[in-house]
Chain A
Amino acid sequence: MKISYSWLKSYVPELPDAEKLCDVFTYHLCEVESLETLPEGEKIFDLNILPNRAHDLLSHQGIARELAGQLGLKFHDATPMYKIPESLPTKLQIESQTDNCRRYTGRIVRNITVGPSPEWVVKYLESIGQRSINNIVDATNIVMYDCGQPCHAFDIRKIPGEKIIIKNAKDGEELELLGSEKIKAKLKNSDTVIANADDMTLGIAGVKGGLHSGVQNDTTEIVLEVANFDPVAVRKTARRLGILTDSAKRFENDLSPTLCDFAMMELSALIVEMCPNAQFETIVNFEQKPPENLRKITFKTAQINNMLGSNISDGEVVAILQKYAFNYTQNGDVFELEIPAMRLDLWSINDVAEEIGRIIGYDTLAPVIPKIDFDKKVNEKHEKIMRARNVLLAHGYSEVMTYSFAKSGVIEVAYGTSGEKFLRTNLSDGIKKSYELNRLNAHLLGCDEIKIFEIGNIFLEKNVEHTHIAIADKKGVKEFSVENFAEKISDENNLSQILLIEKITDTKIFIQNFNKKHFSKKEIFSAWSPFPFITRDISVWVPEHTDPEILLQIFVEHGGELLARTPQLFDMFSKENKTSFGFRLVFQSQNKTLTDEETYTIVDNINNTLKNKGYIVR
């Protein structure tokens, strides 16, 4: 939500700089999306108000009160300055035919002149990204952004008999909405609307007013609406219609019905400022049920400390409650806290702990390792999975992960964004694709052959899933349940039936050790090239006992940046005082497709260097 710094300052004149407030918000209230400075110098915060505080903090007053409490500054209440003329008697009637209207306060105001708003109103609205429309509409918007209560004004010419009815819409009826977009909303019986006595729909409750019933340039008499609608009903209607107005956003987060009184007073006071000759009639109040008594929560400081791991005293609690202007009583170590009507988020000791925790700041909590002897069990399935992984890794199988979704299966998701809407019934299909992909990259990966496995869940019949292990190598794909696999590998003799196990020779060990010495695991991800690679194998006779390291250095020197990986030794044998080493060079560019010629040039240079050293290139 966009919050104007100078608007806040009108309530808390001693506020520190906007930049300093960012930390106060971040560590004690909510995330600051941005702090922007407008061309005329106005500073605007974009705050991510947390869902549990949307009842009271989608408003400048709410934020200002929060800051005053947090910083121990004075909050200037503007209410005493409101001068609303004495009300005249009224004939306005309000009737609710739905459960979705918790409260509806209405007031007729006559003798108004619709025109431009005062400069400060235009400035405030524009600074938070809103457009000034006319004085009356602006007044309703100012009230919403100031105290959080959405308000509306109807032209009384559309309310014959001065009677307002809140009811369910007629299925299929259409209503053209206020605003430049000329949206026609198609309503359903489950939507709540405001109608007149002629059964004409004037607006969608809590969402948006109708075009024809709104304030016109020649309007002189209006009915002000300050109401409270059921959050779920408003949310459903607004979401279905795709009209997420600021009003709907506030209602769907649940507002206190008591807020109507303040909002009607503030709205009236603004209209007095804009239209000094306005005549106000008595407020008509419909209430589904009488307002509830204020809730009380009792707690002890020790309970708060026990929950937070903090170490605050009763005195510190008192200081917090006073700064935040909470009403409370203290009886020994027991506090009884009266919850303000707007604080629909405070219900339990946990809520009080959060309130105190965020106010003192969670940085004040020292990390303490709990010293408890937990009676913990071994997770057998996890153990089996770990054992299986270790065996597979030890035998040269590498791990892959693929998607749980498939083109066909038994269980289908109701609504999916991608084309694959079924849950996989096996791992084999996914690992086959993975095998093919990796096989093409074998040289790049420095492998002679690809050996992979995946451990994951599959979904066969309704609501039953199994954890499987799939392995893929040149002999094909095999898939097991974890239990089955664990049983099979428990007998060493079985391993060769399941896995490809190479014979170990001294030469192989030499080759592996040599390659391992030149391979290091990465700390930071290195992106692979999207361009194809070219493999060149080079075999060379060298005198016996020549260190293959010398050859490697020559390859690296000539290959330079175009070597996709350190050349791998793949072959070695000795004959007649000579040893042949076979190296695999993999060339790849990060930014183009290499031509054969480019690699031949490098290989030619390498061969020449080798010859000059007296080696024989095979």
Chain B
Amino acid sequence: MDTGTEHPLSIVRNEAYEIFSELGFEIADGPELETEWYNFDALNVSKNHPARDMQDTYWIKMTESEIEQAQAGERSSRPVLRTHATSVSARMLEKASHENKNTCAYISIGKVFRNEATDATHEAQFFQIDGSMIGENINLSNMKAVLLKFYKKVLGEDIEIEFRPSFFPFTEPSVEVHAKFKGKWLEMMGGGMLHPNVLKNAGFDPEKVQGFAFGGGLDRIAMIKYKIPDVRLFYQGDLRLNQF
């Protein structure tokens, strides 16, 4: 019998899950419709960060008083379409701390949303790959090795990666991960050591537990791997895309 064809994003996603599972990561998932707490506050994103603006993020329609009520408690339950899959790390790390697990690693690949004008490289929805690993001595060199394994698996054995200085609210130190693919350095994802506030919000003592987290677009990896010219092609439901 003829087998069906796979969506390119699924191919890359499954390769990612495979390699990260081999490296000890547990596959995790979380809701696409998140709370303000897990999407922003738990991740040390300041109240005044531009990502919290109406213009960049899909907040759910509510009345002023409903918003006020949702934000009243210690943890805002105001619903938002998650802007990154890092919210899954926030949830999983919290769960781990409740279970007194000081050594763990999570990988999660899921849909995220950005309220922006779409073009060949921007979509209102796309997939993100997000990972985190904690332990007593988990460090940035470990993240380098893990990501190198991942990119070798997905983009080929001759891939090189490098870290460049960057900034994200949820990691410190923060780095931008670049990969050299077919002779060209390309920005691939962001990452770094989990910010002490993120560990604290998850219920860990940053003096005792540390770890790294990384995240980036899956669509971008697939576009680079297969030379797909337009991110919007992924969501047209068009089987002509399933060429790989």
Q: Which residues of A contact B (CB under 8 A)?
A: 26-31, 50-53, 231-232, 235, 239, 306-310, 348, 350-351, 353-354, 357-358, 362-363, 365-370, 372-377, 379, 381-382, 386, 389, 392-405, 411-418, 421, 423, 430-431, 433-434, 437-438, 441, 444-445, 450-454, 456-457, 459, 462-463, 465, 502, 504, 512, 516, 521-528
Contacts and interface: CB of A to CB of B under 8 A. Distances in A.
A369 B146 contact: yes
B4 A396 contact: yes
Q: Chain B interface: which size bin?
A: 35 or more
B26 A377 contact: yes
A309 B143 CA distance: 10
14 contacts: A27-B164, A309-B139, A354-B173, A362-B163, A365-B163, A372-B24, A375-B103, A376-B104, A399-B242, A401-B7, A416-B115, A417-B124, A434-B238, A452-B4
B116 interface: yes
Contacts of A404: 32, 111, 113, 125
B104 A374 contact: yes
A451 B2 CA distance: 11
Nearest to B35: A463
A399 B10 contact: yes
B93 to A, nearest CB: 14
| Of A310, A381, A397, A403, most B-chain CB atoms within 10 Å | A403
B60 interface: yes
A457 B235 CA distance: 14
A441 B240 contact: yes
Q: Top 6 nearest A-B pairs by Cβ distance? A: A309-B141, A434-B237, A354-B173, A367-B145, A362-B163, A309-B139
Contacts of B129: none
Contacts of A452: 4, 237, 239
A451 B237 CA distance: 12
B116 A399 contact: no
Contacts of A52: 167
B4 A523 contact: no
Interface of B: 1-7, 9-10, 14, 17, 23-29, 31-33, 48, 53-55, 58-62, 79, 81, 101, 103-105, 111, 113, 115-118, 124-125, 133, 135, 137-142, 144-146, 148-149, 162-167, 172-176, 192-193, 195-196, 210, 226-229, 234-240, 242-244
Nearest to A367: B145
B2 A350 contact: no
Given A29-B165, A453-B4, 11 more contacts: A307-B210, A358-B173, A374-B105, A398-B242, A399-B7, A404-B32, A444-B240, A512-B2, A521-B244, A524-B227, A525-B227
B27 A382 contact: yes
A17 B6 CA distance: 51
Given A357-B173, A358-B173, A389-B10, A370 B133 contact: yes
B148 A30 contact: no
A376 B25 contact: yes
A307 B175 contact: no
B103 A400 contact: no
Nearest to B148: A367
A400 B165 contact: no
Nearest to B243: A522
A502 to B, nearest CB: 6
A366 B145 CA distance: 8
Contacts of B23: 369
